[in-house]
Structure 1
Amino acid sequence: MAKYLKAELVSVIEAIDSQGQVIGIMLISAEDWGDKAVPIIIGAAETLSIKKGLGEVEFPRPLSHDLFVEIIEALGASVEKITIDALVSSTYTATVYVKDKDGRIHSFDARPSDAVALAVRVNAPIYISENLEKYAEDLRKYLPPPSGKIAEE
C-alpha cells in the first residue's frame, strides 16, 4: 500500500505550451521534499478555478468547483481530503474523499486539478504518494527567487 505525505499546493502558474496555448502548471510539494515539487500540467480553465479558489482572481459567477462545493455542503457532506496518487500513462491520478452526513467516507477518482480546486475552496488537506517524489523538480525552474536575495557571483 502506498504511503502518503502531507503536501501543499506551492503555486499554480500560467505558461504557454509548444502550440502556443495557455496552460497551467500546478506545483505540489511534500513537507520533506525541500525545494522540490511535482509539476502537473493542467488546463487554462482549471488554472483559473484554482486561482479563484485561492482568492487570487475574481470571477463574477460561480465556477463548476464552486457549484460542486455548494451541492456537497447543502447535502450535509464535506470534502475530507484529497490525494495525488500515481502517474499512469503520463497522466496523474487523484482521489477526492467526501464524508456524508452519516459519517461514511466515499472516495471518487478525480483529475488532480479538480481535486486541488475543491481542496483549496474548503481548506481540505492535500496528500501526495511518496512514490511521486521521483518526478519532483527544483522549484527554481518554475518560480523566481525571493526578492531581496543577492545572487552569488
Structure 2
Amino acid sequence: MVKYLKAELVSILETVDSHGQLVGIMLIGAEEWGDKAVPIIIGSAETLSIKKGLGEVDFPRPLSHDLFVEIIEALGAAVEKITIDALVSNTYTATVYIKDRDGKLHTFDARPSDAVALAVRVNAPIYIAESLGKYAEDLRKYLPPPSGKITEE
C-alpha cells in the first residue's frame, strides 16, 4: 500500500529546456523532506495555468482548468484532493479525487500539472507518495537564496 505525505507546491519556475522550448518546473515538497522537493517538468501552458490559479498572473479569458472547475462546481461536485502517485517510465502520475453531490468519491488519472492546476484553484490538499522522496532535490538548486541578511543590532 502506498503511503502519502501532505505536500505543497513550493514553487513553479519557468525555464528553457535543451530544445529551446519554454517549460515549467513544479517543485513539490513535503515537510518530512526538509529543504528538498521533487522537481516535475511541465508544459508552458500548464505553467501559465498554475500561475493563474495562484494569482501570480492574470489572463483575460478562462483557461481549461478554470472551465473544468466551473463545470465540476455547477454539477454539485468538488475536488476533494489530488495525489502524485508514482514515476512510471520517466513520467509522473497523479490522481484527482472528486466527490459528487451524493457524496460518492470518483478518481481520475491525471498529469500532475493538471491535478495541481485544479488543486490550487479550489484550495484542495495535495499529497505525494512517500516513495517519491528519493527523487527530491535540494531547493537551492532551483531557488535563489533569500535576499538580505537579518543581523543583530
Residues 65-113 of structure 1, C-alpha deviations (whole Å, 9 max, x = no match) = 0000000000000000000000000000000000000000000000000
Residues 90-149 of structure 1, C-alpha deviations (whole Å, 9 max, x = no match) = 000000000000000000000000000000000000000000000000000000011113
Counterpart residue type for residue 76 of structure 1: G
Q: Aligned partners of 1:57, 1:103: CA distance in 2, in Å?
A: 34
What is the percentage of aligned positions where both structures have the same residue?
85
Counterpart residue type for residue 84 of structure 1: I
Counterpart residue type for residue 26 of structure 2: M
Alignment of 1:37-76 (within 5 A): 37-76=37-76
Q: Structure 1: which 4+ aligned runs deviate by more than 4 Å?
A: none
Alignment of 1:9-88 (within 5 A): 9-88=9-88
Correspondence for 1:93: 93
Q: Aligned partners of 1:8, 1:81: CA distance in 2, in Å?
A: 12
Correspondence for 1:106: 106
TM-score normalised per structure 2: 0.97
Counterpart residue type for residue 93 of structure 1: T
Counterpart residue type for residue 105 of structure 2: I
Pairwise CA distance, 1:24:
0.1
Q: Helix, strand or coil: the match of 2:66?
A: helix
Q: Helix, strand or coil: the match of 1:32?
A: helix
Q: Helix, strand or coil: the match of 2:96?
A: strand
Provide the alpha-carbon RMSD of the alignment: 0.8
Aligned residues: 150
Structure 2: segments with no counterpart, 5+ residues: none
Q: Aligned partners of 2:132, 2:146: CA distance in 1, in Å?
A: 26
Moved more, 141-150 or 34-43: 141-150
Q: Aligned partners of 1:22, 1:76: CA distance in 2, in Å?
A: 36
Correspondence for 2:148: 148
Q: Aligned partners of 1:137, 1:126: CA distance in 2, in Å?
A: 19
Alignment of 1:127-146 (within 5 A): 127-146=127-146
